[in-house]
Amino acid sequence: MNWSDYFFSFQGRINRAKLWLFLLIVICIEVVYFALLSTIFGMSILTAMVAGAGHPGAALAGGASILIVVLLSCALYIAIIVAGIAVTVKRLHDRDKGAMWLLVFYVLPLVLNVCAYMLAPNWSGPESGSSGIVPMLLHLAALGVTIWAFVELYCLRGTVGDNRFGPDPLAGRA
């Protein structure tokens, strides 16, 4: 398996197993990353917090450690987001859907939830007389789209045989 194509190419198709594998890889990366961060940078940050104003060098080292942690975390999360979008696009291709379905599966639930929060009444008790039916329905619609996305991407088999996005990734396994 070509790992750079697997993580960063937006072309082709992948099956459900490779999408689940991506989740497992990301979880393992996160666990190792946070274990390393707490081991390597934890002591310098703790030293800076304990030393306080009496040791400006310790405070400077702690500040530098925090900056390094923030920069490393940003780089890691950008890579994970790009890889996640690429893997999801290839999984959508396996379901014979274009990348525009990302808008339905990722953006639509976000928009529905934001609208629900904006329309939610300031609840000050039962005597306020305001109704929360519309926000509740918007939240339920967002949940429904999220469940649909989960089933579509993680549970259903891709199209059998070749489709417009490439050959069946399971073609040789039958």
Q: Residue type at 15? A: N
Nearest to 9 by CA among 62, 72, 86: 86
Question: What pLDDT, on a 0 to 100 scale, did the predictor assign at position 68?
Answer: 81
C-alpha span between 153 and 148 (Å, rounded) = 8
What pLDDT shows up at residue 38? 80
**Grouped pLDDT means (10 residues each) for the chain, 174 residues:** 91 96 97 86 62 56 71 94 97 97 97 91 54 88 98 96 94 68
pLDDT score, position 139: 95
pLDDT at 36: 87
Instruction: Say what the pLDDT of residue 61 is.
Output: 55
The full set of domain ranges for the chain reads 1-95, 97-157
Q: What pLDDT, on the 0 to 100 scale, is given for residue 26?
A: 97
Query: What is the predicted pLDDT for the residue at 43?
Result: 64
Give dist(CA 27, CA 29) in Å, integer: 5
pLDDT (0 to 100) of residue 132: 78
Strand partners, 163: 166
pTM equals: 0.80
